[in-house]
């Protein structure tokens, strides 16, 4: 399992889904919340809400997310960690375009990096009824 202390700040970022269940809206349907987070600090640089009908954000959304995250961070990471079987197209291609190496790992390997954020999101969205 990957641990935050294995990384320096801005060495690796993690892409993951914050929500367990879709975020429901009356007008626009159901969404997943995708986060881009620093592996060492756990700081979430940005998020994108993506329709559950889409496997991942569009190229435009991913570029916008990367740009906004790079502005907030102290530098460009060397590695982008992604859960295997998820985010297979737009995130890896945008990472490569920016000189970042995409690395797919089993989702269980990311749990110690992402569990606090997903728990916090769950509590916030469900009003503390996690």
What does the domain layout of the chain look like in residue ranges? Answer: 4-125
Comparing CA positions, the residue from 34, 121, 12 lying closest to residue 3 is 12
The whole-number mean pLDDT for each consecutive block of 10 residues of the chain, a chain of 130 residues, reads: 95 96 87 96 95 94 95 93 97 98 97 95 69
CA 62 – CA 57 distance, rounded (Å): 6
Comparing CA positions, the residue from 90, 20, 88, 22 lying closest to residue 51 is 22
Q: Are strands 12-17 and 79-83 parallel, antiparallel or unpaired?
A: parallel
Contacts of 35 (CB under 8 A, 6+ apart): 14, 15, 16, 17, 18, 44, 46, 47, 117
Task: Tell me the three state secondary structure of residue 115.
Answer: helix
The pLDDT of residue 79 is 98
The pLDDT of residue 74 is 79
CATH superfamily of 4-125: Ribonuclease H-like superfamily/Ribonuclease H (3.30.420.10)
> Token digits for 93?
């291609």
């Amino acid at each position: 399992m990957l641990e935050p202390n294995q990384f320096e700040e801005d060495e690796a970022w993690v892409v993951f889904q914050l929500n367990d269940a879709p975020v429901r809206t009356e007008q626009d349907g159901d969404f997943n919340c995708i986060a881009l987070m620093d592996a060492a600090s756990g700081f979430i640089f940005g998020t994108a809400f993506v329709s559950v009908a889409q496997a991942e954000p569009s190229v435009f959304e991913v570029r916008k997310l990367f740009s906004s995250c790079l502005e907030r961070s102290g530098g460009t990471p060397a590695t982008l960690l992604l859960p295997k079987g998820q985010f297979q197209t737009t995130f890896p291609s945008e990472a490569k375009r920016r000189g970042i190496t995409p690395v797919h790992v089993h989702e269980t390997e990311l749990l110690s990096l992402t569990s606090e954020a997903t728990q916090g999101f769950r509590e916030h969205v469900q009003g503390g009824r996690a």
